[in-house]
Amino acid sequence: MMKGVAYNQFAGRSLERLCALSDGVFAIAMTLLVLDLRVPAAAAIHSEGELWAALVALAPRMATYLMSFLTLGIFWTGQQTQLNQFSRADRHLAWIHFAFLAAVSLMPFSTAFLAEFIGYRIALLLYWLNILVLGAVLLGGWVYACHAQLFREELTREMDRAVTRRIVIAQGLYACGAALCVFGTAWSIGFIVLVQLNYAIAPPVRWLSRI
């Protein structure tokens, strides 16, 4: 009886390997996104003008590609910031982050789905659902780590709040963006990209950095 317990007590403790697996999954998801940018067929192109037109026709896919790259960058930073505070992993933390990585590896699918059906609300909601799961699992991982005391140093109340606040506000903004699809999916996408650019660039503006 103690034996089964013992296994779970020493299983999955390497934080380095969890980081390495995560970096691998993120790297592949970031690169697979680009597979959706398909080179036009040479047979249909007969002049520089036609090639230019074919390139311009790829613009919407390029836009969803960049939006998803931003999303993955934001969540990579979020996950790294968390894991960086921990002194060790345990098997539960590993499984929470597997769920996170499953959502990461679905991102190329959600992106391709949105690029193909950019005017459809279902495609937009599926994309948002993917972001929601990413945020929820990341928050879950943080709450679990607080509970299981995996931190390297004493966790300050300030840092706990900063991380929780960050995830909750970001998810609130993404939900607003998704809700905008009642006016049209273009409004949603525009709003979400603005939110993401704010997180990526982090402009030194007081009220923005409070978000």
Scan residues 10-69 and list those touching a copy of itself (CB under 8 A).
Answer: 10-14, 16-17, 19-21, 23-35, 37, 39-40, 42, 45, 48, 51-52, 55, 66, 69
Can residue 150 be called a binding residue for a copy of itself (CB under 8 A)? no
Among 60, 73, 175, 187, indicate the residue that binds a copy of itself (CB under 8 A).
Answer: 73
Segment interacting with a copy of itself (CB under 8 A) among 140-148, 160-168, 178-186, 188-196: 160-168
Can residue 201 be called a binding residue for a copy of itself (CB under 8 A)? yes
Segment interacting with a copy of itself (CB under 8 A) among 75-83, 127-135, 137-145, 175-183: 75-83
Q: What does the DSSP assignment read for the chain?
A: -HHHHHHHHHTT--HHHHHHHHHHHHHHHHHHGGGGSPPPPGGG--SHHHHHHHHHTTHHHHHHHHHHHHHHHHHHHHHHHHHTTBS---HHHHHHHHHHHHHHHHHHHHHHHHHHTTT-HHHHHHHHHHHHHHHHHHHHHHHHHHHHT-BSSPPPHHHHHHHHHHHHHHHHHHHHHHHGGGT-HHHHHHHHHHHHHHHHH--S-HHHHT-
- The minimum distance between CB 64 and a copy of itself, in angstroms, equals 12
- The minimum distance between CB 175 and a copy of itself, in angstroms, equals 19
- The minimum distance between CB 125 and a copy of itself, in angstroms, equals 10
CB-count exposure of residue 182 (10 Å: 0-12, 13-18, 19+): exposed
The count of chain residues that interact with a copy of itself, using the rule CB under 8 A, is: 84
Binding to a copy of itself (CB under 8 A): which residues in 78-107?
A: 78, 80-81, 84-85, 91-92, 94-95, 98, 101-102, 105-106
Among 44, 59, 153, 210, indicate the residue that binds a copy of itself (CB under 8 A).
Answer: 210
* Cβ pair 191, 180 in contact under 8 A: yes
Among 93, 134, 139, 163, indicate the residue that binds a copy of itself (CB under 8 A).
Answer: 163
Can residue 209 be called a binding residue for a copy of itself (CB under 8 A)? yes
* Cβ pair 147, 80 in contact under 8 A: no
Can residue 186 be called a binding residue for a copy of itself (CB under 8 A)? no
